Structure 1
Amino acid sequence: MELIGILIIILGFALKLDTIAVVVSAGVVTGFVANMSIVEILSTLGDAFVANRTTCLFMLTLPVIGLCERYGLKAKAVMLIEKAKGLSTGILLSGYEFIRQVTIAMGVTLGGHPQFVRPLISPMAESAAIVKYGKLDEKDIDKIKAHSALADNIGNFFGQNLFMASAGILLIAGTLETLGITVDPMALSKASIPVAIIAFVLCVGKNLLLDKQLSKKYNSKNKNLGGNK
């Protein structure tokens, strides 16, 4: 019964309810099931919040990004890409994915979707396609946005365990230690290298496939328009 909180979280997320309300409700219900008093439940929730309050610091960057966008950050990124006419969307995203994976492997976090992908990478990827093919369909713009998010996700997810002091590595080592199994964090990071390389290669292949699809579609469309003229 103590695991009922997990069920509440799964149902809440599946029904797309408010995230904070779902998590707090799951914690309160779990506390009652575990025969905790309301004071103990609130004290536990408060201690957990205070202990992990630094995880909310990233929210301070959001107003800064908003101001940068308002005063031309996205426009400058687009202008930069327009000057590099030979740069394709797939090559740009592959380059970003490589940088994301290498930097996170060294323990440096670039930011993620709100701080980096939305204001910079996604507009640059769209502009690279627009420069080559002209106006894009809304469906293809959404596809480019999805590939931009994918490059960030793959680079971050598969690159973070290459850093021996990352949260994922420490969690694995700590969990196994409680089970009586001693694991060297460096050995875990080395074991993650082949997976990171495979993920990078697959992501690059997907980006190049996107280039091929866009080229085939719009070159054919532009050719037909030229023939009709």
Structure 2
Amino acid sequence: MSYWPLMGIALVVIGFALRFNPLLVVVGAAVATGLLAGLDGVAVVEALGKAFNDNRYISVTWIILPVIGLLERYGLQQRARAVIAGMRGATMGKLLIAYLGFRQITAALGMKDIGGHPQAVRPLVAPMAEAAAEQSHGELAEAERDQVKAMAAATDNVGLFFGEDIFFAIASILLIQGVFEAAGYPLTPLQLSVWAIPSAICAFVIHAWRIRSLDRRIGSARA
């Protein structure tokens, strides 16, 4: 048994430590692993091509990135800020709590890709949250602006993570069902989904409190 193919792992670690291009590091490590395993160059390229073709559906999501880039170039973030600026009583807390509820409900219905960092948080939610915070508290410091952006991203994460488990056809529920069944506890996906509801409610309450705390903390800094 040869351990030389494991050199590919070392190449990945070294490449990331030296901050080389991640794509080049991964492809280079894959090619090196194939060659060290005794494959010829053509076989390595064939294996890479087959893996890409078998998982090409993953790359479909990349199509949205240039679309978002074009929208941002032509003022999507500025329009989002203007919408919030024209709303009376809009606050960062209210906006992000509303988005948290929206994200959890849609994820619970199986629409987990309706939000997300590249397609929703960066171009819309984060700029709107910044505008709402500025409308309530005035000009933000750079550190406060970063905190608002981070909270917008965290809100999307929490909403998706605790909302999607309520949808009984999601992969995580099926995985949990398989683990319980293997351990001798036959449960249906619907049973697991129902027991995910209390966790989702607790997550909503806790994260909503964190959002309001940040909103109040920014306001108290100017008091």
TM-score normalised over the length of structure 1:
0.79
The corresponding residue for 1:103 is 106
Contact 1:85-1:128 within 8 A present in 2 as well: no
Instruction: Give the CA deviation at 1:26.
Output: 5.8
The corresponding residue for 1:57 is 60
The corresponding residue for 1:169 is 173
The corresponding residue for 2:132 is 128
Aligned partner of 1:83 among 83, 86, 98: 86
For 1:46, the aligned partner's letter is G
Instruction: Give the CA deviation at 1:99.
Output: 0.5
Q: Deviations over 1:74-122 (max 9, x none)?
A: 2221111112231211111111011011111111122311111111101
The runs of 5 or more residues in structure 2 that have no matched partner are none
Instruction: Give the CA deviation at 1:173.
Output: 3.7
**RMSD (CA atoms):** 3.1
Matches within 5 A, 1:140-179: 140-174=144-178
Matches within 5 A, 1:34-49: 37-38=39-40, 42-49=45-52
Q: Structure 1's 100 and 13: CA in aligned 2 closer, same or farther, altered over 3 A?
A: farther
The corresponding residue for 2:188 is 184
Contact 2:103-2:115 within 8 A present in 1 as well: no
Q: Structure 1's 2 and 166: CA in aligned 2 closer, same or farther, altered over 3 A?
A: farther
SS of the residue corresponding to residue 148 of structure 1 reads: helix
Aligned partner of 1:93 among 93, 96, 99: 96
Q: Structure 1's 91 and 6: CA in aligned 2 closer, same or farther, altered over 3 A?
A: farther
Instruction: Give the CA deviation at 1:146.
Output: 0.5
Q: Distance between the aligned counterparts of 1:17 and 1:180, measured in 2?
A: 47
Instruction: Give the CA deviation at 1:2.
Output: 11
Instruction: Give the CA deviation at 1:3.
Output: 11
Instruction: Give the CA deviation at 1:156.
Output: 1.2
Instruction: Give the CA deviation at 1:42.
Output: 5.0
Q: Structure 1's 127 and 13: CA in aligned 2 closer, same or farther, altered over 3 A?
A: same
For 1:139, the aligned partner's letter is A
Contact 2:5-2:32 within 8 A present in 1 as well: no
The corresponding residue for 1:226 is none
Q: Structure 1's 103 and 37: CA in aligned 2 closer, same or farther, altered over 3 A?
A: same
The runs of 5 or more residues in structure 1 that have no matched partner are 221-229
Q: Structure 1's 177 and 99: CA in aligned 2 closer, same or farther, altered over 3 A?
A: same
Q: Distance between the aligned counterparts of 1:158 and 1:11, measured in 2?
A: 36
Q: Distance between the aligned counterparts of 1:29 and 1:177, measured in 2?
A: 40
